[in-house]
Each structure stands twice: as C-alpha cells, then as structure tokens.
Amino acid sequence: MLAQTVLAPHRATAPELGTVKALMTEDESPVSDAPLYRPEAIGLLLLALLLSPKGPKEKK
Amino acid sequence: MPFAESPQREFAAATEWAAGRTLDALTGAEGAAPPTPAPAAPEPQALLAGVRVLGPDVFAPALLTGAPTPPETTEIVAEAFRVFPSDESGIHTWRDRATAELLTRAGYPVSAPTPPPPPDPGEDGWQHWSVRMAQLSCLALPTLDGPVHQRAREHPLALARGAARAVLRRDHRTSARLVRWLAWLHRTGTPSTLELPPLLRQLALTGDGTARSALDLTVAAHLAAG
Amino acid sequence: MNPAVLGDAHRLATRALEWLHTAHEQGHGALPPDGGADLSDPDNAYKPIGECALAASLVLRETVSGPTERERARVLLDFGWQQLRQGELLYERQFRHMLLSDPLETYLHFHRSGYRHPALDELLSGLDGLRATHAVETMPNRRLAIANARHVIGLGSRPDWDALAAATWLGARPEPWAIDWTTGYSVTHTVFHLTDWGALPERLPAPLREYLAAWLPVWADIWRETGQWDLLGELLIVDACLPEPVCDPQNWEQLVAAQRADGLLPRDLDPVDEDPERAFKDNEHTAVVGVLAGTLTLARALR
C-alpha cells in the first residue's frame, strides 16, 4: 500500500497510543480566566450605588 | 522536520500540521490538499498520529464542500487506524467509531470497538457534559448521526450553556469545539438558544492561534451557513 | 425544592445576620459622632447603614426567620434609624439636594419596616410630582431602584415597568457570553428592583425570566469557580426572585463552605483583613447579600 511504502511506520507503542488518546480528548482549560473586577472598567457611577460592591483591596 | 523528543510535543505538532492541511483543503487555499506525505510533513509515525487524532475531521472538507477526499488521504487515515488501533473503551471510542464509519464508506472497511453509553448531562451536570461533548466535536459533521448526536439534539440548552461558559472562562479551545456542536444543531434543525453569527465572529476575532481551533471554527461556519 | 439547598440557605442567612449583629454590637457601622448631613464620603457608614437596613427589612417582610433573627433584624433597623437621627439626616439631605435619590432609597428600608419621618414623607411626595426628579439622568438599573423605592413607599407616580426594564442591559437580552463583572451587578440589581426583591416576580417580563433561566446558571458557575462570593450571592438572590430555582445546588454548598465559623462571608478569595474595622467594611456588603440570598430563597420555597 502507498501509505506503508511511503511511511513505513511501526505499530504504536503504549505511550504513543496514550498520547494520541490524550490529544483526541483534550480537556477544558484547568484555570478559568473569567471576567473579574477591573478598576479601569468600573467608572465613578458605581460609587453612587446604594447596594453596590466595593472594589477588592489593592493587589499586592 | 525537527521535533522534540517527547511524543506528546511531536504528535501535538503533527496534529497541528494535519489540522492546518485540512483547514487549507476546507477553505480552498491554493494547492491545498488534505494531509498526505509531503516535503514539509512530520516524521511518518507522527504524521499518522496527527491524522489519527484528527479522525473524522480529515473528511470534513469532503463532507462540507463535496470535493472528494484524495485516495491517498483516505489510505493514510486507514493506515493511521492500523498503526494506532482503537483498542480500549473510553469516550474517544465515539470518535473512532465515526472515523471507522467514514473509512468504511470510502472503501476501507475497518471496525472500532463498541463505545460506552454516550455521556448524559443528567450524570454530572451540564458543565462536565459540555466538556465531554467538546471532546467529541469532530462528530459534528454532516451525514454523521448516532447516539452522541441524539444527546446533542436532546440538550441544546446544555450545549449552549457550555459554550457561553467556555467563552467566559476564556477557554477558546473549548468554545470553538462547542460552537461547532451548536452549528451542527442549527444545520440539522434544532433551534439554538444562542445566536450563532455573533459568537462565531467573536471567536474568530479572539482565536487561540491553533489550527485545530481554526478548523473547528471553520467547520462551524460551514455548518451554520448550511 | 432541594432540601440541602434550603438547609444551606438557612445556615448562610442565619450566620450572616448573626455576624452583622455582632459587628454592630462591637461598634462597627456607626456614623462619625460629629456628622451632619454630609453623608457623601463613600467610606463612611451611610451606605452600610442602608444595606443593613435593607437586609433587616426583608428578614422582617418575609415570614421565614425565627424569633432570634427577627429580633436581630429589629435591632439593626433601630440602630440605623437612630444613626440617621430618626430620619432627620435623610430629610436634611433630601431637602438640600432634591435630585439625589439616596435619601429616598435609604428611607425605603426603614419605611418598609414601619419607621416614619412625616416631613420626609411629605417632601418625597412633592418631589415625586416634579418632572425634574423623574428626568434625572441615571443608569437604567438605578432608575428601577428609584422607581421601586417610590412604589413601596407609596408615592403617586406610576412608572412603565416594561419600558424601564427594556432600557437595562438585561432588557436587551444580550449575548450571555459578553457579560463582565460590573455588568453582572447591573443584572442582579435590575432583577432586585424590578421584582421588589422577589415579592413581585411577575413584574419581570416573561422574556427576561426565560433569558435568566437559561443563562443565570452559567454566570453563577463562572463566578463560583473564581470565588466571587459577593457576586455569586447576588446571582443566587436573582435566582430567588425567579418563580423556580435555576442554579445548581453546588453553588450553595460552596457559598456556605466559604463562610467562616464566625459567620463572616468573604467577598472573594482575597485574605480577610486582620483589622476588624477594615474586615467589617470589606465584607459587610457580602453579609447583607448572604442574608438576602438565604432569606429570599427560603421565602420563595415556602410561597
């Protein structure tokens, strides 16, 4: 067969099979980068809210 | 083509290469062809691994545009299936079954093990289920249908929530895979709770730079347009 | 409804209220002794007084809390009313600044619980008759807060609730994946005021109820995962303002797990400040949110 003559591959080893399986079933990103408090995105209007969140402390 | 010694990196790079070739074939880039051995191709074992990872997606250009899959491409998929046999149960066996079905249609009859029951959002919630479905996004192709697709049809809101969640987590890879399912639902007549065009546009603007995600998004755009 | 959620809701609300009560007993949350009607310093106790009064007023409005909790709510309201000099500070501020809405909105919580300042009632009624007060340029979700305050106090104006709702971010039923942190608070406040904190769920237009049923679980999930307890708590209040629960019970589990033994509910994953005054100021809002989320969830279940 063309593929065999061209590629002459060897039967996959267990680690190779495991790698292929992992690439097929990539998991979601383990860390969320969900939108959080950003001082620059708030605006002064928030100060006027009666039941409004306070901004978190300054990050060190 | 130089690769690092770890099969993970080498195979991941080969998968990117194969996805890029498939993407070119799908978008009609000049001189494009689905993955076949070529001067710039990965080492043979890695090339087969990459093709094996893409699985049904190697046939995406043919299924979405009607352009025939070159025989040597089909042959490589069959060879990849022989070198990397489907020998264990796990969610990936649903992908293997789809690859086997497409290979068989193309005249290369191969068999794949019986997959486990398709994942269900009732088991551990829409969040986990949508991630499982993202792992099976390559099943979202025209002419493929089965128990996984039936689950998608039964739970369009769970898929849409999964897609919105992935976008908000800025997990572009999962977003691209899930929007593909939403587009498949649209194509096959299940109304979506999430508007597709703005989401597709947004994901196109915020790509993660991988060929795999670009391929998922391009397939999604074709499905959505169909 | 899921009994575990009801247990978590009860636990969260009871302990958050206890923490607020204890903090006040320890002297937190008071206005500066020399303070006049200038309540504009954002770091002073004016805002917390209003927020604690809100939580307490709804503990009393609903019938789900035990006698200890009702007593604590009454103590918090009495404290706030005394701090505001039986409403005199609100009256003076409203008298001097007729276009401001915070005296009205703060008075609402006390008024709901039976406190009255007759001159302020009269002043508010007069201001409600002016085009000038209704035309103030205000964010759409804030317009709802003001309209609801006027409605609960019983002023004469009759707002077009659907039009007010339609002008908000939520009213546009936007792409749910485009929300950000601040807009999350806009959404929660839109629902709070539109439903008068769950008392009038039908005032939330049906398309918005459906939209929230679809997407609220997603927002709760992403901000639960990132430990945004304050915002998660607000989203669970929104859930309690819907006819049926839509969020996953694990949100409740994690919120309760985040609450410390003394009842303090941290607003996020940052370490709680060791200075008690700072810790009170930082986390008082989240305690109010915890009281409201628990109380309103129980109230919805028993309706």
> What is the residue extent of each domain of chain B?
1-116, 118-226
Lowest mean pLDDT among A36-50, B169-183, C161-175: A36-50
User: According to the model, what pLDDT value does residue C35 have?
Assistant: 65
Residue type, C210: E
CB contact under 8 A, A51 and C267: no
Lowest mean pLDDT among B121-125, B218-222, C78-82: B121-125
Q: pLDDT band at C180, cuts 50/70/90?
A: very high
Total residues belonging to chain A: 60
CB contact under 8 A, C182 and A46: yes
pTM of the predicted protein model:
0.93
Q: Which residue has the higher pLDDT, B192 or B1?
A: B192
Cβ-based contacts of A53 with chain C (< 8 Å): 185, 230-231, 267, 285
Q: Residue C190: which of C176, C177, C205 has the closest Cα?
A: C205
Cβ-in-10-Å burial (0-12, 13-18, 19+) of A39 comes to: exposed
User: According to the model, what pLDDT value does residue C242 have?
Assistant: 97
Q: pLDDT band at A58, cuts 50/70/90?
A: low
- Interchain contact C99–B (C-beta under 8 A): no
Q: Are B221 and B200 in contact (CB under 8 A)?
A: yes
Q: Are C299 and C291 in contact (CB under 8 A)?
A: no
Min distance C119 CA to chain A CA atoms (Å)? 22
B173: tokens are 């890879």
Nearest CA in chain C to A54: C282
CATH number at C3-302: 1.50.10
pLDDT digits (tens, 9 = 90+) for C100-153: 999 999 999 999 999 999 999 999 999 999 999 999 999 999 999 999 999 999
Q: Please name the residues between 110 and 169 in chain C that touch chain B, using a CB distance below 8 Å.
A: none
pLDDT digits (tens, 9 = 90+) for C209-223: 999 999 999 999 999
Q: How many CB pairs under 8 A join A and C?
A: 63
User: According to the model, what pLDDT value does residue B2 have?
Assistant: 47
pLDDT at A3 over 50: no
User: According to the model, what pLDDT value does residue B40 have?
Assistant: 76
User: According to the model, what pLDDT value does residue C36 have?
Assistant: 60
Sign of CA dihedral B107, B112, B114, B119: negative
Q: pLDDT band at A57, cuts 50/70/90?
A: low
Nearest CA in chain A to C229: A53
User: According to the model, what pLDDT value does residue A56 have?
Assistant: 63
Q: Please name the residues between 55 and 114 in chain B that touch chain A, using a CB distance below 8 Å.
A: 55, 72, 75-76, 78-79, 83-85, 87-88, 90-92, 95
User: According to the model, what pLDDT value does residue A60 have?
Assistant: 45
Neighboring chains of B (3 or more beta-carbon pairs < 8 A):
A, C
CB contact under 8 A, C215 and B168: no
Residue B89, phi then psi, degrees to nearest 5: -85, 155
Mean pLDDT of chain C: 96
Average pLDDT over every residue of C29-48: 78
ipTM for the whole complex: 0.95
Q: Residue B139: which of B114, B111, B167, B102 has the closest Cα?
A: B102
Which residues of B have a CB under 8 Å from any CB of C?
125-127, 157, 160-161, 163-165, 167-169, 193-195, 198-199, 202
User: According to the model, what pLDDT value does residue A5 have?
Assistant: 45
- Interchain contact C224–A (C-beta under 8 A): no
Average pLDDT over every residue of A9-27: 93
Cβ-based contacts of B135 with chain A (< 8 Å): 24-27
Among A1, A5, A13, A23, the strongest candidate for a mutation testing the B interface, having the largest count of B CBs within 10 A, is A23
User: According to the model, what pLDDT value does residue C205 have?
Assistant: 98
User: According to the model, what pLDDT value does residue C38 have?
Assistant: 65
Secondary structure of residue C66 in the 3-state scheme: coil
Nearest CA in chain C to B169: C222
pLDDT digits (tens, 9 = 90+) for C72-102: 999 999 999 999 999 999 999 999 999 999 9
Q: pLDDT band at A8, cuts 50/70/90?
A: low
Contacts of C179 (CB under 8 A, 6+ apart): A35, B168, C187, C219
For residue A12, give the DSSP letter: P
Q: Which residue has the higher pLDDT, C184 or C1?
A: C184
Percent of chain C exceeding pLDDT 70 equals: 98
CA distances from B177 to A52, B30, B126, B136 (A): 37, 26, 15, 8
Q: pLDDT band at C169, cuts 50/70/90?
A: very high
Q: Please name the residues between 187 and 246 in chain C that touch chain B, using a CB distance below 8 Å.
A: 214-215, 217-219, 221-222, 225
User: According to the model, what pLDDT value does residue C37 have?
Assistant: 53
Contacts of C285 (CB under 8 A, 6+ apart): A51, A52, A53, A54, C48, C51, C230, C267
A18: left (phi over 0), alpha (psi -120 to 50) or beta: alpha
Torsion angle in degrees (nearest 10) through CA of C67, C71, C73, C74 = 140
Cβ-based contacts of B167 with chain C (< 8 Å): 177
